[in-house]
Amino acid sequence: MRWSKLFTPTLRDAPNDAVAPSHQLLVRGGFIRQLHAGHYSMLPLGWRVHQKVANIVRQEIEAIGGQEFLLPTMHPAELWKKSGRWDTMGEIMFRLEDRKGADNALGITHEEIFATVAAELSSYKQLPQIWYHIQTKFRDEARPKSGLLRVREFHMKDSYSFDVDDAGLDVSFDLHDTAYRRIFERLGIPAFAVQASSGAMGGNDSVEFMTPSDAGEDDVIRCPNCDYSANIEKATARLDIIDDESGPSQPERFDTPGVRTIKALEEFDGGAPADRQLKTMVMVLDGRITLAVVRGDHQLNTQKLVDATGAIEIRPAEADETLAALGAQPGSLGAVGVADHPVIVDEALQGRTNMTTGANIDDVHYRGVSVDRDLVVAQWADLREVEAGEPCIRCGAALGVVRCIEVGHIFKLGREYAEVFGATVSTPDGGEEPIVMGSYGIGIGRNMAAVVEAHHDDKGIVWPVSVTPFEAVITLMRTDEETMAAGDKLYGELKAAGVDVLLDDRDARAGVKFADAELIGIPYRLTVGPRGLRDGKVEFTTRSTGETTDVVIQAAAASVWEAVTAAR
RNA sequence: CGGGUUGUGGCGCAGGUUGGUAGCGCGCCUCGUUCGGGACGAGGAGGUCGGGAGUUCAAAUCUCCCCAACCCGACCA
């Protein structure tokens, strides 16, 4: 490709609304342009990278036996109603009516559709199967952000495994686990696996692949000592056992004028330290008032509450709902004796006695509360959010929190979809069993952005050779006949050698060309100018190190080829 | 969906409180001089000031409504 013909509108300044480095650099480098919130146009350079990322994913999924499909992205509502997700998916799904008035959905994922196709599987002899496609997904995200990191329209590689039994699923799952590790390795993304909540997608055994980045949206708990790591929505930690005094035989009311917070109650004369208090969070789960109780110094993690209850919609109660339900304002709330709303209690409170909590009367609290005795516990669950510094559940070392981008997610679906969509196979003993499925996703554009997050400097992007839009750029210092001829010759040699090469034949100043080449992140550069040509030499520069050496022109193409093939 | 911010040529911004008919830098076009790290000079093109309504002789500027984008939270590859 000749740069003079290439459409890559580079910008000296990043648009003001771009904050994440990958967002700024992809826009500045002319890789992408925003159409509207969460929808980006891939410009030629961006599309080249996108395709290289997709191809790496494709190769690794093929390597574990995956077969590529292409399923539609617009689906009849019927399929989603069948699985129940027409209702449970809520607002994340784009829905539209066709001219006949029939409901349609734009696919947020493809379990329903692959399961429908899988209904044609008939015998255990055909299993296992791994099916995948790389297809557009639409998600009406509440908040698209950070360029390609969180969008409403994106390409995802989603694969689905089909096995006769759980043991088979384990194998398919592990195959994906290793394939994913290879993918991130090849993309140059430093990713690691964490235990995760499977959220709205259903299923159990859920593993996310994370890469540390300030631009990310997930907090991950990591142990510095052992290999424990988990999404904060799932993470647990060891807790010191607290010895309570047994306390009175029943809770005692006491007046607490003006006390509205845990902290205020700690300082109040006759109050209690936060770890001897109960914190009562009033939540609305699918329209139903529910109390979530955690220790005073603990934080409720709402995803844990969702996982524990299977709720679809969850929100904190409004002040008036709280008043109507409990008869008091926040600050004096408690769960003692509450029987007409479900009370879900964090496991850390099991067996605790002599605790202090709100009495559901403004400015009044209880002390001497025994959790088991005084609360009508509908459910015990792990609700509390782990904090940095707490002891690792496995080894006791102080846990750390890292902000991460989720670059991949694999999880075991089980038999649910197969049952709903009639994907069953006959078994060796003549019976018939639903297929066991797994589901595995990687967002292509997101990974492209994640690569940039991991590989950039103050001059621009530093693409790994594996996904770079061009592997080498030949920068012509002048456009006179002699320089042009030398550049053309190198260009021809590199093309013939199978190197993706860009010839910067623009009539521009050296500084502009250098800056552009660095901005768009081409790994290797040959600089051709009259100065070197006099001695029959060109310069060879490596983007990542900035290292420059003179090479004789006859050997230049070979040097690039060697560097590129070594890094591919 | 809650909280915050911002909408003025392609990008970055000024102007707005004190209404008077739009300006700067970069980029773009032409010519010339330059030419190894974002050149200089001269000339030029490009904007319904997010949209609508209102106030006014007059609105980028004041008022109301709407829309969009971005950032922080709740949600996901």
Q: Are strands A432-434 and A384-385 parallel, antiparallel or unpaired?
A: unpaired
Whether any strand B atom is under 7 angstroms from the Cβ of A11: the reply reads: yes
What mean pLDDT comes out for the span A106-110? 94
Whether any strand B atom is under 7 angstroms from the Cβ of A21: the reply reads: no
Bases on strand B under 7 Å from any protein CB: 1-2, 10-13, 25-27, 35-39, 68-77
Q: In one letter, which amino acid is A446?
A: R
Task: For residues A407 and A313, state if they share a domain.
Answer: no
- At A287, is the secondary structure helix, strand, or coil? coil
Q: CB atoms < 10 A from the CB of A554, how many? A: 12
Question: Which pLDDT score, from 0 to 100, does residue A203 have?
Answer: 55
User: DSSP letter string over A450-505?
Assistant: HHHHHSEETTEE---TTT-S-SEEEEES--SHHHHHHHHHHHHHHHHTT--EEEE-
Whether any strand B atom is under 7 angstroms from the Cβ of A17: the reply reads: yes
Question: Which pLDDT score, from 0 to 100, does residue A106 have?
Answer: 94
Nucleotide closest to A9 measured between CA and C1' = B10
CA A450/CA A81 separation, integer angstroms: 35
Phi and psi at A200, nearest 5°, equal -75, -10
Residue listed under structure tokens 């991950």: A220
Closest CA to A159 of A83, A238, A62, A87: A62
What mean pLDDT comes out for the span A5-32? 91
Whether any strand B atom is under 7 angstroms from the Cβ of A512: the reply reads: yes
A423 CA → B59 C1’, Å: 67
What mean pLDDT comes out for the span A209-216? 92
pLDDT band at residue A204 using 50, 70 and 90 as cut-offs: low
pLDDT band at residue A15 using 50, 70 and 90 as cut-offs: confident
Task: For residues A336 and A418, state if they share a domain.
Answer: no
Question: Which pLDDT score, from 0 to 100, does residue A14 have?
Answer: 86
**Per DSSP, what are the bridge partners of residue A438?**
A161, A412
pLDDT tens digit string along A360-371?
Answer: 999 999 999 999
Whether any strand B atom is under 7 angstroms from the Cβ of A231: the reply reads: no
Whether any strand B atom is under 7 angstroms from the Cβ of A515: the reply reads: yes
- The answer on pLDDT for A380 being more than 90 is yes
Task: For residues A148 and A27, state if they share a domain.
Answer: yes
- At A71, is the secondary structure helix, strand, or coil? coil
- The answer on pLDDT for A198 being more than 70 is no
Task: For residues A150 and A181, state if they share a domain.
Answer: yes
Q: Please count the helices (runs of H) and the strands (runs of E) in chain A.
A: 16, 33
Whether any strand B atom is under 7 angstroms from the Cβ of A475: the reply reads: no
Residue A237 lies in a domain: no
Q: Within window 102-121 on A, which residues have Cβ closer than 7 Å to strand B? A: 109
Nucleotide closest to A480 measured between CA and C1' = B35
Q: CB atoms < 10 A from the CB of A413, how many? A: 24
Question: Which pLDDT score, from 0 to 100, does residue A549 have?
Answer: 97
Residue A8 lies in a domain: no
Closest CA to A390 of A297, A302, A277: A297
Share of chain A above pLDDT 70, in %: 99
A238, A395 contact by CB (below 8 A): no
pLDDT tens digit string along A530-563?
Answer: 999 999 999 999 999 999 999 999 999 999 999 9
Residue A14 lies in a domain: no
Whether any strand B atom is under 7 angstroms from the Cβ of A154: the reply reads: yes
A11 CA → B24 C1’, Å: 19
Share of chain A above pLDDT 90, in %: 79
What mean pLDDT comes out for the span A121-132? 98
pLDDT band at residue A397 using 50, 70 and 90 as cut-offs: very high
Question: Which pLDDT score, from 0 to 100, does residue A260 have?
Answer: 86
Q: What is the ipTM of this complex?
A: 0.92
- The answer on pLDDT for A201 being more than 60 is no
Residue A241 lies in a domain: no
Task: For residues A380 and A407, state if they share a domain.
Answer: no
A512 CA → B30 C1’, Å: 21
pLDDT tens digit string along A270-315?
Answer: 889 999 999 999 998 888 889 999 999 998 998 888 888 888 778 8
Residue A243 lies in a domain: no
Task: For residues A430 and A475, state if they share a domain.
Answer: no
CB contact set of A554 (below 8 Å; sequence gap of 6+): A536
Whether any strand B atom is under 7 angstroms from the Cβ of A406: the reply reads: yes
Domain that holds residue A476: 470-567
Task: For residues A123 and A46, state if they share a domain.
Answer: yes
- At A156, is the secondary structure helix, strand, or coil? strand
CATH number at residue A326: 3.90.960.10
pLDDT band at residue A247 using 50, 70 and 90 as cut-offs: confident
CATH number at residue A498: 3.40.50.800
Task: For residues A165 and A263, state if they share a domain.
Answer: no
Task: For residues A117 and A158, state if they share a domain.
Answer: yes
A98 CA → B23 C1’, Å: 50
b/e code A444-473 from CB counts within 10 Å (16+ = b):
bbbbbbbbbbbbbeeebbbbbbbbbbbbbb
- The answer on pLDDT for A359 being more than 70 is yes
Residue A244 lies in a domain: no
SS3 content of chain A, % helix, strand, coil (to 5): 30, 30, 35
What mean pLDDT comes out for the span A420-445? 96
Nucleotide closest to A218 measured between CA and C1' = B76
Instruction: Calculate the alpha carbon distances from A3 to A79, A226, A286, A419, A513 in Å.
Output: 48, 50, 56, 55, 10
Closest CA to A26 of A4, A2, A5, A53: A53
CA A200/CA A133 separation, integer angstroms: 21
Of residues A201 and A77, the one with the higher pLDDT is A77
Q: Considering chain A, what is the average pLDDT of its residues?
A: 93
Task: For residues A270 and A406, state if they share a domain.
Answer: no
Q: Within window 36-75 on A, which residues have Cβ closer than 7 Å to strand B? A: 36-38
Nucleotide closest to A155 measured between CA and C1' = B77
A201, A439 contact by CB (below 8 A): yes
Number of domains in chain A: 3
Task: For residues A368 and A444, state if they share a domain.
Answer: no
A437, A203 contact by CB (below 8 A): no
Determine which helix (DSSP H) or strand (DSSP E) holds A554, and give its type and residue range: helix A553-567
Whether any strand B atom is under 7 angstroms from the Cβ of A88: the reply reads: no
Q: Within window 241-270 on A, which residues have Cβ closer than 7 Å to strand B? A: none
Task: For residues A113 and A155, state if they share a domain.
Answer: yes
For chain A, give the longest Cα–Cα distance.
99
CATH number at residue A438: 3.30.930.10
Whether any strand B atom is under 7 angstroms from the Cβ of A446: the reply reads: yes
- The answer on pLDDT for A37 being more than 90 is no
CA A534/CA A553 separation, integer angstroms: 11
Residue A68 lies in a domain: yes
Q: Strand (E) positions, A110-269?
A: 129-138, 153-163, 192-195, 204-212, 218-222, 229-231, 252-255
| Closest CA-bearing residue to C1' of B6 | A17
A548 CA → B26 C1’, Å: 30
pLDDT band at residue A199 using 50, 70 and 90 as cut-offs: low
Whether any strand B atom is under 7 angstroms from the Cβ of A219: the reply reads: no
Residue A232 lies in a domain: no
- The answer on pLDDT for A200 being more than 60 is no
